């Protein structure tokens, strides 16, 4: 048995539990990675049919897109054309539902 107030004993049982509870290890919504134009981007599912794109280099948000039946995108860290190409590649590679 372990005591919850002892971080060493707590993490010895499950070393990822502390990080997951602080939000540092929340990768469960990641759908995949895409390399485009010399940079790598992570596709994360925000809600059903809604995805957010992050540049892996600095973890900056590039924008959000939605899949059909009503495709939509909003770029906030790059130009619309770049986010559109990343969204298209994610859709074509099966990273979206």
Residue 15: C-alpha distances to residues 7, 27, 29, 44, 72 (Å): 10, 16, 20, 24, 39
Q: What is the pTM of this model?
A: 0.69
Q: What is the pLDDT of residue 84?
A: 94
Is the pLDDT score of 4 beyond 90?
Answer: no
pLDDT digits (tens, 9 = 90+) for 64-86: 999 988 889 999 989 999 999 99
- The alpha-helical segments, DSSP class H, found in 2-94 are 7-13, 17-22, 80-92
Residue range 6-53, pLDDT digits in tens: 444 444 444 444 334 334 435 558 899 999 889 999 999 999 899 999
pLDDT of the residue at 70: 86
Q: Which helix (H) or strand (E) holds 53?
A: strand 50-55
According to the model, what pLDDT value does residue 37 have? 87
CA distances from 66 to 55, 59, 94 (A): 18, 20, 14
């Amino acid at each position: 048995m372990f005591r919850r107030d002892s971080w060493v004993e707590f993490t010895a049982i499950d070393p990822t539990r502390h990080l997951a509870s602080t939000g540092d290890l929340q990768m469960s919504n990641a759908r995949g990675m895409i390399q485009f134009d010399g940079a790598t981007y992570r596709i994360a599912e925000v809600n059903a049919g809604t995805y957010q794109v992050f540049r892996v280099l600095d973890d900056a948000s590039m924008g959000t897109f939605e899949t059909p039946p009503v495709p939509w995108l909003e770029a906030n860290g790059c130009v619309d054309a770049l986010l559109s190409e990343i969204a298209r590649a994610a859709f074509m590679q099966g990273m979206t539902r």
